[in-house]
């Protein structure tokens, strides 16, 4: 495992991963431990010490390492590379975590990468235009075989988390994630996420910069990466809220906002401001119908000593057939997760806010969404039909006020 240390623009080898049946262990390299600028890759999981470090109880691998691995989409791309194509019997569980780590793209989220060699770093990268990558993604989803050059290029985006098709791009020095429309989309997913992120910025939330565009007649959401510095090329270490909570995917249903808030108070820089931002993001998720706010969709920068909330990402209104909805993580200490503003208001003290402060945050967001919806929707290329499908359904559904 290689790491970009804070302030560095090239990686150094940090240690070795070994797999023992289902368990992946980590061992720091002696050269890394001898460095004056060495940092723990994440605490409490990987303290700076000699010897084999096993994952915490209940985990099959350290969470910070799994955070750097490919998720559903990336695993499917790599599996297709192994088998030639995907079909209904394809199972991403057929390949090991180490296989996914070593074969996924090197320009992954965060500041880690994985190599077969402890002495020579060689980035895995492919190059293709957005239309070529888009066509490759559609071919893959349809079960077709990819030409070798496009398969290699598509691998660049395999280390970016999430279930939906996405690729990596560069534009005038900016590093971008391009989220693609899927052939199976039943509603305008890309534009829905685009307008939600646009509204979030207008509400004053700290979120990644995005832009809705099109390619080959399909919607594309460009997301500017916040784990890279544009001027120096540094990479920033990132851990998910799932890792911060000491959980993995199988235990993700136990993740709660109130547990995360408790950890913010103990471990984050500027806890008061961070909790206010976290509460504001919860409110915004409720107001815009983003019920996919699970613990992998929250993250923090790690500098070896403390944590700081990253900009928000993956804020996407979800389809709903009725009025009632629940957030992915419980908001209040009683386990309340209903997508209602009253639930947020009642839990305000968890986030070190008074109910009056909570009401002010809620009122301000409602006012921005109501007054700027049309402008945001036009900026994100929503059609009249798109607006009708989202407004008062996902966006400001009447249920949130109950």
Q: Is the pLDDT of residue 145 over 90?
A: no
Pick from 333, 288, 339, 336: nearest CA to 314? 288
Q: What is the pLDDT of residues 371-380, one digit of tens each?
A: 999 999 999 9
Q: What is the pLDDT of residue 135?
A: 82
Mean pLDDT of 164-186: 83
Mean pLDDT of 51-67: 95
Q: What is the pLDDT of residue 83?
A: 75
Pick from 286, 358, 342: nearest CA to 315? 286
Mean pLDDT of 112-119: 96
Q: Where in the chain is CATH 1.10.1070?
A: 239-401
Q: Is the pLDDT of residue 174 over 70?
A: yes
Mean pLDDT of 91-100: 88
pTM metric for this prediction: 0.94
Q: What is the pLDDT of residues 296-311, one digit of tens each?
A: 999 999 999 999 999 9
Q: Is the pLDDT of residue 48 over 90?
A: yes
Give Cβ neighbours of residue 118 (< 8 Å, ≥ 6 apart).
13, 16, 29
Q: Which of 83-87, 116-120, 164-168, 212-216 has the lowest mean pLDDT?
A: 83-87
Mean pLDDT of 168-184: 84
Residue 231 or residue 400, greater confidence: 400
User: pLDDT-based confidence at 61, cuts 50/70/90?
Assistant: very high
Mean pLDDT of 250-261: 95
Q: What is the pLDDT of residue 306?
A: 94
Q: What is the pLDDT of residue 173?
A: 77
Tell me which H or E stretch contains 179.
strand 174-180
Q: What is the pLDDT of residues 310-330, one digit of tens each?
A: 999 999 999 887 789 999 999
Q: What is the pLDDT of residue 272?
A: 98
Pick from 324, 311, 306: nearest CA to 399? 324
Q: What is the pLDDT of residue 157?
A: 63
Q: What is the pLDDT of residues 185-237, one digit of tens each?
A: 888 999 999 999 999 999 999 999 999 999 888 899 999 999 998 777 789 99
In eight-state DSSP terms, residue 205 is -
Give Cβ neighbours of residue 161 (< 8 Å, ≥ 6 apart).
67, 70, 71, 74, 109, 296
Q: What is the pLDDT of residue 161?
A: 66
User: pLDDT-based confidence at 159, cuts 50/70/90?
Assistant: low
Q: Is the pLDDT of residue 130 over 70?
A: yes
**Beta carbons of 253 and 242 less than 8 angstroms apart:** no
Q: What is the pLDDT of residue 32?
A: 98
Q: Is the pLDDT of residue 158 over 70?
A: no
Q: Is the pLDDT of residue 85 over 70?
A: no
Q: Which of 71-80, 354-363, 376-385 has the lowest mean pLDDT?
A: 71-80
Mean pLDDT of 165-185: 84
Long-range contacts formed by 230-236: CB under 8 A, 24+ apart: 230/173, 230/174, 230/175, 232/9, 233/9, 234/4, 234/6, 234/7, 234/8, 234/9, 235/4, 235/110, 235/111, 236/6, 236/110, 236/111, 236/301
What share of the chain in percent tops pLDDT 90? 71
Q: What is the pLDDT of residue 364?
A: 98
Mean pLDDT of 233-249: 94
Mean pLDDT of 341-348: 98
Q: What is the pLDDT of residue 277?
A: 98
- Yes or no: is domain 239-401 CATH 1.25.40? no
User: pLDDT-based confidence at 72, cuts 50/70/90?
Assistant: confident
Mean pLDDT of 34-42: 97
Q: What is the pLDDT of residue 377?
A: 98
């Amino acid at each position: 495992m290689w790491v970009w240390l804070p302030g560095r623009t090239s990686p150094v080898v940090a240690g070795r991963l070994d797999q023992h049946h289902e368990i992946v262990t980590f061992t720091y390299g002696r050269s890394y431990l001898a460095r004056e600028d060495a940092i723990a890759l994440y605490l409490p999981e990987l303290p700076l010490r000699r010897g084999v470090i096993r994952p915490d109880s209940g985990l099959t691998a350290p969470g910070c390492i799994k955070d750097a691995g490919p998720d559903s989409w990336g695993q499917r791309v790599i599996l297709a590379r192994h088998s030639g194509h995907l079909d209904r019997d394809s199972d991403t569980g057929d390949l090991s975590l180490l296989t996914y780590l070593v074969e996924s793209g090197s320009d992954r989220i965060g500041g880690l990468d994985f190599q077969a060699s402890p002495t020579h770093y060689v980035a895995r990268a492919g190059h293709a235009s957005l239309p070529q990558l888009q066509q490759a993604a559609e071919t893959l989803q349809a079960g077709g075989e990819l030409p070798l050059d496009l398969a290699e290029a598509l691998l660049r985006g395999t280390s970016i988390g999430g279930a939906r098709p996405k690729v990596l791009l560069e534009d005038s020095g900016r590093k971008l994630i391009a989220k693609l429309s899927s052939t199976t989309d039943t509603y305008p997913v890309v534009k829905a996420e685009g307008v939600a992120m646009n509204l979030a910025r207008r509400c004053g939330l700290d979120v990644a910069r995005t832009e809705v565009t099109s390619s080959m007649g399909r919607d594309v959401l460009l997301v500017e990466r916040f784990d890279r510095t544009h001027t120096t090329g540094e990479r920033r270490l990132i851990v998910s809220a799932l890792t911060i909570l000491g959980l993995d995917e199988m235990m993700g249903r136990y993740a709660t906002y109130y547990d995360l808030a408790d950890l913010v108070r103990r471990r984050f820089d500027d806890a008061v401001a961070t909790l206010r931002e976290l509460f504001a993001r919860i409110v915004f998720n409720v107001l815009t119908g983003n019920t996919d706010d699970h613990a992998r969709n929250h993250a923090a920068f790690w500098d070896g000593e403390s944590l700081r909330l990253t900009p928000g990402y993956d804020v996407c209104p979800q389809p709903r057939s009725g009025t009632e909805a629940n957030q992915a993580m419980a908001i209040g200490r009683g386990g309340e997760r209903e997508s209602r503003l009253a639930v947020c208001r009642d839990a305000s003290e968890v986030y070190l806010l008074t109910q009056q402060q909570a009401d002010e945050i809620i009122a301000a967001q409602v006012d921005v969404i109501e007054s700027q919806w049309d402008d945001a929707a036009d900026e994100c290329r929503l059609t009249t039909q798109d607006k009708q499908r989202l407004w008062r359904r996902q966006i400001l559904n009447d249920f949130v006020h109950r």
